Amino acid sequence: MKRLVAEALGTFVLVAGGCGSAVLSAAFPELGIGFMGVALAFGLSVLVMAYAVGHISGGHFNPAVTLGLVAGGRFPASQAIPYIIAQLAGGIAAGAVLYLIASGKGDFSAAASGFAANGYSEHSPGGFSLQSGMIAEGVMTAIFLIVIMGATSERAPKGFAPIAIGLALTLIHLISIPVTNTSVNPARSTAAALFQGDWAISQLWMFWLMPIIGAVIGGLIYRGLEEKAA
C-alpha cells in the first residue's frame, strides 16, 4: 500500500506541475513561461518526486514506464495493474485540483483552452498528423525507458538517476510539445482528457497505445544491451 500511495503521489505532482504550468503559466500575459518552461516543469516534477518517493515505489509515475520495466525484466508483472490504477488515481486527482484552480478565472473554459490535453491533426499544437504523433510518442517513450533503465542500472553512478530521468523528460518535451503536446504518459493524458471533455477523449486511445508500445520496445532494447554487456 505504501508503494501505491507513493506512485499516486508522484503522479499527482507530475500532472499538477507539468499540466499546471501549461494551463496556468505557459501563456500568462507578458510573463508566460512558454514551451521551454512547460518542458522544464515536467522534468522537474519527475526529478523532485523521484528523489522524494522513488526509494519507496521505484518512481514510475507512468503506466507506460511500469509496463516498459516489466518488459525490461526490472518489475514484476503481477504488480503492474495496481501500480497503473494508483497512477491514474493520482493523475486524475491532480487534474481535478487543477480544474478547480483554473475555474477561479471568470472566462476559463477547459474545452476551449484545451486543458493541456494531448492531440494530433487539428488538435496538435503544430498541426502534425496522426502518423507524426504516433511516431513521436512511440520513439520518445522508447528513449525515455532506455534512459530510465540505464540510469537505474546497478553499474550506473549512484544517486544521479532522478537527474538523468528528469532531464530526459525535459528534452522529450522540448522535442515533441509542438507535435502532440507531449504525452509519453497515459496517466497524464487521461487526467487532461477527462477534464477537457471534448475531442481529447476521442483521441486518448493513441496516447495509451503508442507510449506503451514505445516503452515495451525501449525496455526490450535495454534488456538486450544489458545482457550482452554482462
Interhelix angle 206-229/130-151, rounded to 10 degrees, is: 40
Torsion angle defined by CA atoms of residues 23, 207, 65 and 13, in that order, rounded to the nearest 10 degrees: 20
CA–CA dist 7, 58 (Å, integer): 8
Neighbours of 105 (CB within 10 A): 10
1-225: what fold? Answer: Glycerol uptake facilitator protein (1.20.1080)
* pLDDT at site 230: 62
Q: For 171-214, write each residue's pLDDT tens digit.
A: 999 999 999 999 999 999 999 999 998 899 999 999 999 999 99
CA–CA dist 95, 120 (Å, integer): 21
Question: Can you tell me the mean pLDDT for 46-75?
Answer: 96
Taking the CA of residue 186 as centre, how many other CA atoms within 13 Å lie in the half-sphere pointing to its CB?
A: 25
For the chain, give the percent of residues with pLDDT over 70.
97
Question: Can you tell me the mean pLDDT for 225-229?
Answer: 78
- Cα 75 → chain centroid: 19
Q: For 109-130, write each residue's pLDDT tens digit.
A: 888 888 999 999 999 999 999 9
Q: Could you write out the three-class secondary structure of the chain?
A: CHHHHHHHHHHHHHHHHHHHHHHHHCCCCCCCCHHHHHHHHHHHHHHHHHHHHHHHHCCCCCHHHHHHHHHCCCCCHHHHHHHHHHHHHHHHHHHHHHHHHHCCCCCCCHHHHCCCCCCCHHHCCCCCCHHHHHHHHHHHHHHHHHHHHHHCCCCCCCCCHHHHHHHHHHHHHHHHHHHHCCCCCHHHHHHHHHHHCCHHHHCCCHHHHHHHHHHHHHHHHHHHHHHHHC
Which residue bears the cell 553512478? 157
* pLDDT at site 229: 67
Taking the CA of residue 71 as centre, how many other CA atoms within 13 Å lie in the half-sphere pointing to its CB?
A: 21
pTM of the model: 0.94
Question: Can you tell me the mean pLDDT for 128-154?
Answer: 97
Domain boundaries along the sequence of the chain: 1-225
CA–CA dist 104, 41 (Å, integer): 22
Neighbours of 108 (CB within 10 A): 15
